[in-house]
Structure 1
Amino acid sequence: MARIGMLTPSSNTILEPVTGKLLSGIAGVTAHFSRIRVTQIALDDASSAQFAAEPMLGAAGLLADARVDAIVWNGTSGSWLGLDRDRELCRLLREATGMPATTSALAMTAAYEALGAKRIALVTPYTADVNARIAEGYGRAGLTVPLRLASGLSANEAFANVPAEAIAGMIARAAETPGVDAVAVVCTNFGAAGLAADAERRYGVPVLDSVSVTAWQALRLLGIDGRPLAAEWGRIFEIV
């Protein structure tokens, strides 16, 4: 039996049900959630302050009461605030709880490395300036982003209301971009997880949804084989 503790943005309504459904495919693995207040995604100081370490450490302490086996920040803020910030958060989480830790942004980076993906088509519900900041960070990591698609939203709760048809259209456009190695859906409150495997079969390009990839990396942290999930949730689960 394994328990995965997940730190969740307060206004997120996607990742908990999706993660629960996804992990139901692995016997004995459960996810447990603790929330921190996150309501807006933007590049201003007020938005950045939502992702301070202190509330995350408090929420992680509550998860530790449940004797979870790993702590995961199931949010993509490191994609625009910088991976070093997420690495420092993981260090603090390990120090405070004694448990392995990761984040959604670090999980996506691990997925790119595992797939050998260098050219990433980006799909998000965010505004164009947030997407540009993500692409800048990817550039510093040696990746190129030939296409950036954004829904133009900043209210985190609203991301979950983007219709599946619209998300599928964005994924299709991204997957059809010449020369891309992977499509990255960067947001854990965007309804793309259930679309990824079908899109991969249709377009022949890996589609990396943040919720699914975060679960993939959490399973890897605990040495759990996620391959039974690949057919339904995407080819990234074939990599253990």
Structure 2
Amino acid sequence: MTALGFLYPGHSAEDDYPRIEQLLGSDIRLAVVHTDIGEDAHRVDALLEMGSPDRLAAGVEEIRRSGAEALVWACTSGSFVYGWEGAHEQVRTLARTAGLPASSTSFAFAHAIRELGVRRVAIGATYPDDVAALFASFLKAAGAEVVGVRGSGIITAAEVGTWGRAEVVALAEAADHPDAEAVLLPDTALHTAAHLRDLESTVGKPVLTANQVTVWEALRLTARRVNAPALGTLFTKEPVIQVARG
């Protein structure tokens, strides 16, 4: 059995993880530990505090007790808000604290883009425009070409967590761009695990969503590959390149 650990901020779409575990259909267990979200706000100062070392460290012992072989900070905005170098330092600190290979959802997106062999991407964010722009800058630092960014202006993860299939599909449709090779939906507060086939069918190209890539990233850290068509192209495509751990 492979056990994977996730630090998830607050309570919004954490039920995506047991759903993904079921869809993986393998000897893989996903352990989700909730961190204190602090102020629920897609605002830079609040996001920096949410991803601070002390808040993440508080959940590490429970992750260790779960027997996890790797750990991912399951938050996009609470990682990319630190910038490319700052997000690397966040992950390095988390790995040292946990004594485990570690990553974050922001790096999961960067690695998943490379896995698919795509370069041009469009972003459909739930965030306000200024926060969405920070994610675009992060992806550009990772070598992606961002051809479109659509923000939704939602301030709280709690509100994002209320969105259903119709809203999620509409976001992907609105964000899509003729030049984009993939569409990215970057909020782990957004329920997407049940809609990945619908999303890809609707836009006619790979769709990467936050909780999907977060689980894929944890598998990557443990060198596990699982073919799971219900989880989208990312979980069926043969690797384009091998990305080093870390």
TM-score (norm 1): 0.90
Partner Cα distance (2:201, 2:168) in 1: 16
Partner Cα distance (1:71, 1:78) in 2: 14
User: Which residue is 1:36 aligned to?
Assistant: 35
Letter in 2 for 1:85: G
Answer 1 or 2: which has greater helix percent: 1
State whether structure 2 residue 101 is matched by structure 1 residue 103: no
Query: Which ranges of 4 or more aligned residues in structure 1 deviate by more than 4 Å?
Result: none
Partner Cα distance (1:136, 1:93) in 2: 23
Partner Cα distance (2:67, 2:80) in 1: 29
Partner Cα distance (2:136, 2:5) in 1: 29
User: Which residue is 1:23 aligned to?
Assistant: 21
Cα distance, 1:104 vs structure 2 = 0.6
State whether structure 2 residue 50 is matched by structure 1 residue 50: yes
Shift in CA distance, 67/192, structure 1 to aligned 2, threshold 3 Å:
closer
* Structure 1 gap ranges (5+): none
Partner Cα distance (1:201, 1:75) in 2: 26
- Say if 1:168 and 1:192, in contact at 8 Å, map to a contact too: no
* Structure 2 gap ranges (5+): 240-246
User: Which residue is 2:183 aligned to?
Assistant: 183
Partner Cα distance (1:211, 1:46) in 2: 21
User: Which residue is 2:233 aligned to?
Assistant: 235
Partner Cα distance (1:95, 1:148) in 2: 34
- Say if 2:72 and 2:217, in contact at 8 Å, map to a contact too: no
- Say if 2:172 and 2:203, in contact at 8 Å, map to a contact too: no
Cα distance, 1:127 vs structure 2 = 0.7
> How many aligned residue pairs are there?
234
Structure 2 SS opposite 1:224: coil
- Say if 2:75 and 2:187, in contact at 8 Å, map to a contact too: yes
State whether structure 2 residue 63 is matched by structure 1 residue 63: yes
User: Which residue is 1:73 aligned to?
Assistant: 73
- Say if 1:83 and 1:106, in contact at 8 Å, map to a contact too: no
Structure 2 SS opposite 1:147: strand
Cα distance, 1:182 vs structure 2 = 0.8
Structure 2 SS opposite 1:30: strand
Cα distance, 1:99 vs structure 2 = 1.4
TM-score (norm 2): 0.87
Cα distance, 1:217 vs structure 2 = 1.4
Q: How does 1:1-240 map to 2 (within 5 A)?
A: 1-10=1-10, 12-14=11-13, 16-24=14-22, 25-38=24-37, 39-43=40-44, 45-76=45-76, 77-175=78-176, 177-227=177-227, 229=228, 231-239=229-237
Partner Cα distance (1:88, 1:55) in 2: 15
Cα distance, 1:52 vs structure 2 = 0.5
- Say if 2:75 and 2:106, in contact at 8 Å, map to a contact too: yes
Shift in CA distance, 225/47, structure 1 to aligned 2, threshold 3 Å:
closer
Structure 2 SS opposite 1:142: coil
Letter in 1 for 2:28: V
- Say if 2:184 and 2:208, in contact at 8 Å, map to a contact too: yes
**Residue deviations 1:59-89 (CA, integer Å, cap 9, x gap):** 1122112222111100002233223223222
Q: Which one is further off, 147-156 or 75-84? A: 75-84
Cα distance, 1:174 vs structure 2 = 2.8
Letter in 2 for 1:28: D
Structure 2 SS opposite 1:193: coil
Cα distance, 1:215 vs structure 2 = 0.7
Letter in 2 for 1:141: A
Partner Cα distance (2:146, 2:98) in 1: 36
CA RMSD across the alignment: 1.8
Structure 1 SS opposite 2:58: helix
Cα distance, 1:165 vs structure 2 = 1.0
